[in-house]
């Protein structure tokens, strides 16, 4: 993994420098503002510094479907069951018990001097480290640079490092990350631990790996060619219509783009009326379409607009006839128009159902992912699971019903911190 730092007068300028050197697939690990120092600081503006990474040979993940029906080979050094009931707040007591030698008649009650020094493998310890992740990344950045210059002998893993990895393992399972992916992440963490690395180094390395696995979010972009047609597909009840209104409002108000709406959701009258209300508020044209021919005719009428948002009917992914109709509609768009397809899924959907949804909609079109209803769940592991399973690019996430608020580009850093035990904002 290649990790470098870049500075610019704005965050966007620093990120652009990173992508110019590392390529468009570079992942931003951290962003911070660097204030000038010295006597002349009042005459200098602040700089923005980004830490960016590029995975040189990213590990390929196997299909997790067989693991749903067959027992997994457990992590040899961790040896935890995936369905074990966990309570993160009580892990300090559990780890304290695990450290006691089982064969000694008078075991040491505190082998790591926990009474004198609070263990850094508690959930509070992880929380504190995640809050200071910027400093941890900086330490690791310079540590990796020094390791390139001198050959270092491996050091034995310390007990605290092992217990910390054990805590991360349990925390990821508690956050519904699939056990197969947790084991793969922990394999990488254990390699670092066996080199005698500190807990800070282990956590920042795991954080970086997980950020890379999520990848850089890719929102709707404007190439200059008009119009761009954006299809929103997905199961019923995931919030497609509201998500369309949020995104359209952002482009209309903040970017001053001309937007138009089409709806093929003729199954629910309420959905049509809801979109019409949003269209009236934004002073944007709206058309109801039933076939691909009507769609192309409607697009032709607003061909000078920047973005055309197409709301589609939500249906069960098991309904083959409706899936075929959806595919026919998307493929029926005239070739002269640029298009993007976004699969909208709820973060509250069960993992097995998400696998089926990802597979079925992949047959309809290549898509980017939008996750909704993050405010209705406390675990976000399914977002990593489906990202790794489908290979689709992430784009947006929503956290409520307010339009145009409660939506943002997928915040990879925030989600990874929460998956590792950070406090939800």
Q: Calculate the alpha carbon distances from 281 to 262, 275, 277, 402 in Å.
A: 15, 10, 6, 14
> Higher confidence at residue 336 or residue 155?
336
Domain boundary among 166, 188, 214: 214
Report how many domains make up the chain.
Answer: 3
Residue-level pLDDT at 214: 94
Asked whether the bond before 227 is cis by omega within 30 degrees of 0, the reply is yes
Whether 424 is in a domain gets the answer: no
List pLDDT tens digits, range 5-58: 778 878 777 777 877 777 776 777 677 777 766 554 545 567 777 777 676 554
The verdict on 264 and 341 lying in the same domain is yes
Whether 381 is in a domain gets the answer: yes
How far apart CA 78 and CA 186 sit, in angstroms, is: 9
Q: Calculate the alpha carbon distances from 395 to 300, 357, 370, 398 in Å.
A: 27, 17, 6, 11
| pLDDT-wise least confident of 67-81, 137-151, 200-214, 228-242 | 67-81
> Higher confidence at residue 368 or residue 72?
368
How large a percentage of the chain has pLDDT more than 70? 68
Q: Do residues 366 and 209 make contact, with C-beta atoms less than 8 angstroms apart?
A: no
Mean pLDDT of 314-324: 78
The DSSP bridge pattern shows strands 228-233 and 407-409 to be unpaired
> Higher confidence at residue 70 or residue 21?
21
The verdict on 27 and 92 lying in the same domain is no
Half-sphere exposure of residue 108, counting CA atoms within 13 Å on the CB side? 7
Domain boundary among 12, 30, 54: 54
How far apart CA 263 and CA 241 sit, in angstroms, is: 9
Q: Calculate the alpha carbon distances from 140 to 4, 144, 206, 214, 259 in Å.
A: 11, 6, 12, 21, 45
Mean pLDDT of 205-221: 90
Residue-level pLDDT at 217: 92
The verdict on 307 and 402 lying in the same domain is yes
Q: What is the dihedral of CA 41, 44, 45, 46, to 10 degrees?
A: -40
How large a percentage of the chain has pLDDT more than 90? 42
The verdict on 23 and 83 lying in the same domain is no
Residue 111: pLDDT over 70:
no
Residue-level pLDDT at 196: 64
The verdict on 167 and 280 lying in the same domain is no
Residue 66: pLDDT over 60:
no
Taking all residues of the chain, what is their mean pLDDT, rounded to a whole number?
77
Beta bridge partners of 309: 230, 261
Residue-level pLDDT at 63: 56
Residue-level pLDDT at 327: 92
Whether 421 is in a domain gets the answer: no
Question: Residue 349: left if φ>0, alpha if ψ -120 to 50, beta else—which one?
Answer: beta
Whether 284 is in a domain gets the answer: yes
| pLDDT-wise least confident of 20-24, 233-237, 262-266, 412-416 | 20-24
The verdict on 43 and 77 lying in the same domain is no
Mean pLDDT of 221-225: 80
> In which band, very low, low, confident or very high, does the pLDDT at 246 lie, cut at 50, 70 and 90?
very high
Give the domain range for residue 183.
68-214
The verdict on 77 and 34 lying in the same domain is no
Q: For residue 249, give the CATH number of its domain.
A: 3.40.50.300
List pLDDT tens digits, range 341-354: 999 999 999 999 99
The verdict on 144 and 284 lying in the same domain is no
Mean pLDDT of 84-99: 39
> Higher confidence at residue 6 or residue 241?
241
Whether 220 is in a domain gets the answer: no
Whether 207 is in a domain gets the answer: yes
Residue 104: pLDDT over 90:
no
Residue 379: pLDDT over 70:
yes
The verdict on 237 and 325 lying in the same domain is yes
**What phi, psi does 154 have (nearest 5°)?**
-60, 145
Half-sphere exposure of residue 399, counting CA atoms within 13 Å on the CB side? 12
Whether 183 is in a domain gets the answer: yes
Residue labelled with tokens 């900086």: 138
The verdict on 186 and 125 lying in the same domain is yes
- Beta-carbon contacts of 90 under 8 Å, excluding residues fewer than 6 positions away, are none
Residue 99: pLDDT over 50:
no
Whether 304 is in a domain gets the answer: yes
Residue-level pLDDT at 123: 61
How far apart CA 171 and CA 166 sit, in angstroms, is: 9
Residue-level pLDDT at 205: 85
Helices 199-214 & 381-390 angle (0-180, nearest 10)? 50
Domain boundary among 169, 188, 214: 214
The verdict on 384 and 241 lying in the same domain is yes
The verdict on 134 and 253 lying in the same domain is no
Q: What is the CA radius of gyration of the chain?
A: 25
Instruction: From 86, 89, 87, 114, select the one nearest 99 (Cα to Cα).
Output: 114
| pLDDT-wise least confident of 99-113, 174-188, 366-380 | 99-113
């Amino acid at each position: 993994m290649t990790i470098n730092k870049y500075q610019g007068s704005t965050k966007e300028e620093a990120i652009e420098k990173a992508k110019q050197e590392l390529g468009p697939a570079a992942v931003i690990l951290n962003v911070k503002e660097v204030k000038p120092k010295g006597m002349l600081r009042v005459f200098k503006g602040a700089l923005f510094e980004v830490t960016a990474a590029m995975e040189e040979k990213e590990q390929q993940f196997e299909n997790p479907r067989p693991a749903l029906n067959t027992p997994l080979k457990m992590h040899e050094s961790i040896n935890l069951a995936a369905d074990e009931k966990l309570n993160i707040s009580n892990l300090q007591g559990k780890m304290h018990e695990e450290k006691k030698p089982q064969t000694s008649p008078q075991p040491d009650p505190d082998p790591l001097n926990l009474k004198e020094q609070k263990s850094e493998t508690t959930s509070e310890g992880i929380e504190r480290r995640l809050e200071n992740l910027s400093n941890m990344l900086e330490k690791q950045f310079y540590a990796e640079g020094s390791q390139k210059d001198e050959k270092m002998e491996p050091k034995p893993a310390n007990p605290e490092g092992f217990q910390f990895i054990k805590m991360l393992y349990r925390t990821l399972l508690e956050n519904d990350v699939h056990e197969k992916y947790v084991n793969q992440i922990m394999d990488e963490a254990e390699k670092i631990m066996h080199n005698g690395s500190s807990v800070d180094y282990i956590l920042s390395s795991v954080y970086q790996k997980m950020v890379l696995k999520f990848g850089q979010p890719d929102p709707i972009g404007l190439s200059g060619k008009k119009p761009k047609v954006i299809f929103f597909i997905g199961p019923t009840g995931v919030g497609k219509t509201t998500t369309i209104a949020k995104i359209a409002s952002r482009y209309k108000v903040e970017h001053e783009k001309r937007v138009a709406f089409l709806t093929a959701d003729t199954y629910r009258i309420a959905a049509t009326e809801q979109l019409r209300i949003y269209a009236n508020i934004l002073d944007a044209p709206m058309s109801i379409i039933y076939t691909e021919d009507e769609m192309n005719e409607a697009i032709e009428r607003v061909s000078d607009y920047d973005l055309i948002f197409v709301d589609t009917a939500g249906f069960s992914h098991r309904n083959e006839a409706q899936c075929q109709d959806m595919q026919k509609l998307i493929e029926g768009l005239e070739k002269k128009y640029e298009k993007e397809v976004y699969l909208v899924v709820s973060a509250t959907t069960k993992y097995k159902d998400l696998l089926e949804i990802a597979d079925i909609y992949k047959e309809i079109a290549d898509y980017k992912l939008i996750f909704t209803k993050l405010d209705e769940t406390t675990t976000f592991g399914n977002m990593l699971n489906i990202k790794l399973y489908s290979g689709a690019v992430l784009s947006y996430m929503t956290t409520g019903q307010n339009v145009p608020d409660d939506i943002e580009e997928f915040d990879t850093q925030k989600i990874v911190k929460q998956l590792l035990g950070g406090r939800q904002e």
